[in-house]
Amino acid sequence: MRVLLSTYGTRGDVEPLVALAVRLRALGAEVRMCAPPDEEFSERLAGIGVGLVPVGPPVRELMRGKTLPSAKDLARYRNELVETQFDTFPAAFDGCDVVVAAGLGQVAARSVAEVAGISYLYVSYAAVHLPSPHHAPPPRPGWPEPEVADNRTLWELDAQNVNAQFGEALNSHRGALGLPLVDNVRDHILTDRPWLAADPVLGPWRETPGLDVAQTGAWTLADERPLPADLARFLGAGTPPVYVGFGSMSPAEGVGGMAVEAIRAQGHRVLVSRGWADLDLVDDGDDCFAIGEANHQNLFGKVAAVVHHGGAGTTLTAARAGTPQVVIPLQLSDNPYWAGQVAALDLGAALDAPTTSVESLGIALKTALSPETRARAKSLGSRLRTDGAEVAARRLVHESR
């Protein structure tokens, strides 16, 4: 069995497919992956013996600035990515039995799979990306945010926005390939039987007419790497610090510094993850320490709380560690959704990034660090499953026979 995995995005988009690839290979499947050409992704895939088919520009370059590219630039990037996919995918898909596509940006994948006569499966990492009257669509950068409250209307407008961005390009290629035209690009990409690679306790799917969603659990791998020696020394030199990190994202101006100030004001030590934004928040104080890449699975059980942007991977890892969270979500993708889940499950607190202040962060930290919140976080952590990638790999192999 040959499987093609495809995504375009940051580390949070790539890592779940890495986990699936490892489980598929353990079951005897051959795997290759279409992903951005960033060096860290090529090294990551080489480390597990999976070939990378580079597609699109490096993502880290797009995320380098303090703000996202303009709406005009984002539209151009998206259109160029579609053209690149139609150019690259046919050779990448050749000889494969099934394609697993993750992310709305996988516009060409289903069409190329149709021409090749191979199966196509769409996967989402958060329920919020799938249309449902139970929630609004996620924020999509560069596209207008309608000021209406009804979720059904919002999803209809979302479909119109996706059509406006991708409809002409997609149907131009489909027409040239002899395929029928598509009148709803979003639902064409998602299909009516998508998979949801999210934990059913932390991010459950609610039944929605018209969608037959298979929720497998989140796709992750156990990380056995030890912590760097200097980090271990800092952790052992005092009480557990509060972690601050924003992953592949750049926080709103000043938010990182506010977090450090608020944490110190309550007498806690601070651990800052530089991330892709290369945060420089450390002064000469011995109560603050900065780190680069580290094993979060190992680390998060050793900190008092995790302050972060609301990425799916960070939220899940902190929750599994039983560690309280303070989420300052960017208005991007599933970040607000995971912030809402943390708040709804009483695992900590969620803030509005544009209005975040030292004072509001202080209040949020008091909530997160309370004995009651710590107890709830620890209890929920023990209920989260760790076999999502294994479940998905076995189901994929079984259904492809």
- Amino acid identity of residue 35, one-letter, is A
d(C-alpha 100, C-alpha 4), whole Å:
6
Both 236 and 288 in one domain: the answer is: yes
Out of 185-194, 249-258, 376-385, least confident range: 249-258
Both 83 and 203 in one domain: the answer is: yes
Structural element, H or E, at residue 380: helix 371-381
What CATH number should be reported for the domain holding residue 297? 3.40.50.2000
Both 186 and 308 in one domain: the answer is: no
Both 29 and 175 in one domain: the answer is: yes
Out of 72-76, 80-84, 260-264, 279-283, least confident range: 279-283
d(C-alpha 104, C-alpha 338), whole Å:
18
Q: How many domains does the chain have?
A: 2
How many other CB atoms sit within 10 Å of the CB of residue 290? 17
Both 153 and 295 in one domain: the answer is: no
Given a cut of 80, whether residue 252 has pLDDT beyond it is: no
Alpha carbons within 13 angstroms on the beta-carbon side of residue 278 total 5
The DSSP-derived string for 88-107 is HHHHHHTT-SEEEEESTT-T
Both 34 and 83 in one domain: the answer is: yes
Return the pLDDT at 60: 81
Question: Helices (DSSP H) in 182-328: which residue ranges?
Answer: 185-190, 229-236, 255-265, 296-299, 312-321
Question: Helices (DSSP H) in 94-181: which residue ranges?
Answer: 109-116, 151-176
Return the pLDDT at 142: 83
Asked whether 55 and 84 are in contact (CB, 8 A), the reply is yes
Return the pLDDT at 64: 63
Q: What values do phi and psi take at 117, rounded to 5? A: 70, 35
Return the pLDDT at 263: 95
d(C-alpha 343, C-alpha 393), whole Å:
32
Both 166 and 265 in one domain: the answer is: no
Asked whether 2 and 30 are in contact (CB, 8 A), the reply is yes
Asked whether 100 and 396 are in contact (CB, 8 A), the reply is yes
Return the pLDDT at 282: 66
Both 236 and 324 in one domain: the answer is: yes
Given a cut of 90, whether residue 332 has pLDDT beyond it is: no
Write out the residue range of the structural domain in which residue 246 sits.
Answer: 229-381
Both 376 and 390 in one domain: the answer is: no
Both 358 and 239 in one domain: the answer is: yes
What's the pLDDT tens digit per position in 63-78?
Answer: 666 666 788 888 888 9
Both 315 and 209 in one domain: the answer is: no
d(C-alpha 294, C-alpha 60), whole Å:
18
Return the pLDDT at 73: 85
Both 163 and 83 in one domain: the answer is: yes
d(C-alpha 240, C-alpha 270), whole Å:
9
d(C-alpha 319, C-alpha 315), whole Å:
6
3-state secondary structure of 307: strand
Q: What values do phi and psi take at 77, rounded to 5? A: -60, -45
Helix, strand, coil: what percent of the chain each, to 5?
Answer: 45, 15, 45
What confidence category does residue 277 fall into, taking pLDDT thresholds of 50, 70 and 90? confident
Out of 37-46, 241-250, 320-329, least confident range: 241-250
- Amino acid identity of residue 168, one-letter, is E
How many other CB atoms sit within 10 Å of the CB of residue 265? 13
What's the pLDDT tens digit per position in 77-108?
Answer: 899 999 999 999 999 999 999 999 999 899 99
